[in-house]
Structure 1
Amino acid sequence: MKIYLIRHGQTDWNIAGMIQGSHDIPLNETGRIQARKLAEAMDERPITKIFSSPLIRAAETAQMIAKRQKVELCSIKPLVEVEFGKWEGLTWAEIENQFPEELKRWTMNPQEVSPPGGETLTSIRNRCVEAWKTIREITGGNEDVAIVSHGATLGHFYSFLMSNKPGEDHKIVENASITTISYDPLTEEFHLLERNESSHLK
């Protein structure tokens, strides 16, 4: 089984450096162009299903791939972006200025401390487990699939899948990039094949 982890195309909030989180921000024109190029690049990576966050920026990106490959698109709520509560709509510089103590506590213990009104790392991890369980049950672990989600969530999802691989920690990938992982349903092992591939956007 091959798993293609895909981040949605660009939004205006991406350009501004604002945290989107649970806000339902659509792709901008550049993001739609990126999604089209991404869909073309996926021609070389045939899939049987696409699993997507229901947030519009991810759904729009996934729909272009689904339409081109004529495959089923499954919306999975646990793939939504990390919820940052009162920090959403702000840049990291603004958060540091407006919420210095909260940011410090969150940075020191994200497993148990959440942004004001947001979610903890433990909550995010549980969502990743739930998402993978759903995908594994639907595919039987034998179908090549794409998973379209968001920067922070994909970082945590990647870390969850590769938890037994030293050095494979959380990293934010680029908009409309492709990270490819192989999965063996017999051994339940994951292996990184390609990370943050974005040459199709040039």
Structure 2
Amino acid sequence: MKLYLIRHGQTDWNIEQRIQGQQDIPLNDTGRAQARCLTQAMKEKKLDAIYTSPQIRAYATAGAVAGNRPIPVVALPWLMEINYGDWEGKTAKELLKKDGDRYKAWWDRPAEVAPPGGETVAQVDARCAAAWDWIRSRMKGDTAIVSHGGLLAHFMEQLLKGSGEDDGGERVVHNASITTFEYQPETGEIRLTGFDECGHLRFLCNFTE
């Protein structure tokens, strides 16, 4: 079976480099164009189900992945973006000025330091693991997961944990990119076969952030 991990299309806060977290920021014009590109890129792929974050930017992207096909689009709260608490809506420059010590400590020791009012890395990893357990127990064919950059980085860590491809590094993907895994339900083996693919966006001039 194939598992496609897809990041939502671009938003205005992506351009402004604001931390979105669990704020419900919609796709902008470029994000909607990227979603249409995903419709074309995914239309020949025989998907059994699409699981998505319920946040509007991800849910709209998931709808584009389905296109006009009668594929179930299931919203899972586990797939919401990381909760950054009081930092949501702010830029790195603003945080360095207002909460610099904690922000620097979070970058240096994310397993120990959480944003005020936000999630710890352990909490994020736990819900990624719960999401994957729930999804794989229901997989009957090729499946897409639509979520967010931070969440998907942790989700991929869970998928590759214990495999030869688990290098401990964080895998960050671009807006509207497609990352592909091969999954063998009989053995539980999972293999990364295509990472952060953006070729379907090649005619758009601004898809990288």
Q: Map of 1:11-30 to 2, 5 A cutoff?
A: 11-30=11-30
User: Could you tell me how far apart the structure 1 residues matched to 2:112 and 2:55 are?
Assistant: 25
2:146 is aligned with what amino acid? V
User: Could you tell me how far apart the structure 2 residues matched to 1:108 and 1:198 are?
Assistant: 30
User: Could you tell me how far apart the structure 1 residues matched to 2:55 and 2:62 are?
Assistant: 11
User: Could you tell me how far apart the structure 2 residues matched to 1:87 and 1:42 are?
Assistant: 34
Q: Which residue of 1 aligns with 2:118?
A: 118
Q: Which residue of 1 aligns with 2:147?
A: 149
CA-to-aligned-CA distance 1:95-146 (integer Å, 9 cap, x gap): 122111111332333223210111000000001011111101222xx41000
Q: Map of 1:36-115 to 2, 5 A cutoff?
A: 36-115=36-115
RMSD of aligned Cα (Å): 1.3
The count of residues paired between Structure 1 and Structure 2 equals 200
Q: Which residue of 1 aligns with 2:205?
A: none
Q: Which one is further off, 13-22 or 98-107?
A: 98-107
- Structure 1 residue runs of 4 or more that deviate by more than 4 Å after TM superposition: none
2:153 is aligned with what amino acid? G
- In structure 2, the gaps of 5 or more residues are 203-209
Preserved contact between residue 49 and residue 144 of structure 2 (Cα < 8 Å): yes
Deviation at 1:53, TM superposition (A): 0.1
Q: Which one is further off, 191-200 or 44-53?
A: 44-53
TM-score of the superposed pair, with normalisation by structure 2 = 0.91
3-state DSSP class of the match of 1:159? helix
Deviation at 1:168, TM superposition (A): 5.7
1:10 is aligned with what amino acid? Q
User: Could you tell me how far apart the structure 2 residues matched to 1:166 and 1:157 are?
Assistant: 12
Preserved contact between residue 162 and residue 168 of structure 1 (Cα < 8 Å): no
Q: Which residue of 1 aligns with 2:129?
A: 129
User: Could you tell me how far apart the structure 2 residues matched to 1:137 and 1:46 are?
Assistant: 19
User: Could you tell me how far apart the structure 1 residues matched to 2:39 and 2:112 are?
Assistant: 38
User: Could you tell me how far apart the structure 1 residues matched to 2:102 and 2:168 are?
Assistant: 28
TM-score of the superposed pair, with normalisation by structure 1 = 0.94
3-state DSSP class of the match of 1:99? helix
Query: Comparing both structures, which one devotes a greater share of its residues to helix?
Result: 1
3-state DSSP class of the match of 2:43? helix
CA-to-aligned-CA distance 1:79-110 (integer Å, 9 cap, x gap): 00001111111112221221111113323332
Deviation at 1:182, TM superposition (A): 0.8
User: Could you tell me how far apart the structure 2 residues matched to 1:19 and 1:111 are?
Assistant: 19
3-state DSSP class of the match of 1:23? coil
- In structure 1, the gaps of 5 or more residues are none
Q: Which residue of 2 aligns with 1:189?
A: 189
